[in-house]
């Protein structure tokens, strides 16, 4: 079992910014999704929300539509305040909901000690997962610490495919007509693109078979 995670944030620094959106998907080792995903907006911390974003990040979140789901936007395109329903989704509240959601994946018959051992065998997966783990360690440490230190990083596999199997790499999912990755920057979309990319590499023979 893999736990796929993606975050949208205010920038690169976990200590100086906020998580804005989180998605978590669980798959088996054959990359089939198990259950429903966890997806939630997250209320930015005081003075570490919009003000913590540089112009690039602001534009990115505006284009993806995330900004307007977090903030009320005035007629000039500027955010005025956090939307009321989002204010109820503090980091602590989202963390509590996430931990409760994940309980469904722990076998009912195991003891607390066995559950801890079970969780330590589960690896985080995604693209550039070290980024997401750093933010989780800062903002949701009791969730991040449950799982294995090992990670499955599709970004690393993409790098290898580009060098070792360029034809396969050039036809991976998520590319536009110009052959460049289509920007998503929404947490669940990014996770599912990572999963689909790994399925593609496996089917192509680049992973789990003979390189074509």
Residue 175 forms part of a structural domain: no
Q: Are 168 and 179 in contact (CB under 8 A)?
A: no
Residue 163 forms part of a structural domain: no
pLDDT at 107: 84
Mean pLDDT computed over 125-150: 95
Residue 178 forms part of a structural domain: no
Residue 167 forms part of a structural domain: no
Residue 204 forms part of a structural domain: no
Tell me how many domains the chain contains: 1
Domain with residue 56: its CATH number is: 3.30.420.10
pLDDT at 208: 60
pTM: 0.91
pLDDT at 186: 95
Residue 190 forms part of a structural domain: no
**Domain range for 148:** 2-152
Average pLDDT, the chain: 92
Question: If pLDDT is split at 50, 70 and 90, which confidence band does 209 have?
Answer: low
Structure tokens, 91: 């980091």
Residue range 111-132, pLDDT digits in tens: 777 888 899 999 999 999 999 9
Residue 161 forms part of a structural domain: no
């Amino acid at each position: 079992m893999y736990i796929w995670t993606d975050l949208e944030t205010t920038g690169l620094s976990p200590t100086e910014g906020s998580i804005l959106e989180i998605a978590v998907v669980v798959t088996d080792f054959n990359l089939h999704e198990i259950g429903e995903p966890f997806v939630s907006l997250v209320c930015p911390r005081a003075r570490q929300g919009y003000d913590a974003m540089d112009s690039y990040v602001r534009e990115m979140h505006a284009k993806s539509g995330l900004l307007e789901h977090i903030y009320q936007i005035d007629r000039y395109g500027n955010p005025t305040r956090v939307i009321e329903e989002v204010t109820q989704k503090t980091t602590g509240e989202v963390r509590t909901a996430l931990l409760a959601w994940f309980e469904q994946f722990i076998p009912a018959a195991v003891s607390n000690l066995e559950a801890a051992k079970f969780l330590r065998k589960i690896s985080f997966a995604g693209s550039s997962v070290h980024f997401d783990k750093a933010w989780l360690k800062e903002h949701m440490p009791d969730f991040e610490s449950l799982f294995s230190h090992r990670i499955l990083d599709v970004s690393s596999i993409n790098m290898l495919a580009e060098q070792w199997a360029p034809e396969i790499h050039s036809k991976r999912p998520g590319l536009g007509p110009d052959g460049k990755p289509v920007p998503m920057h929404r947490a669940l979309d990014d996770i599912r693109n990572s999963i689909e990319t790994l399925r593609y590499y496996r089917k192509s023979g680049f992973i789990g078979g003979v390189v074509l």
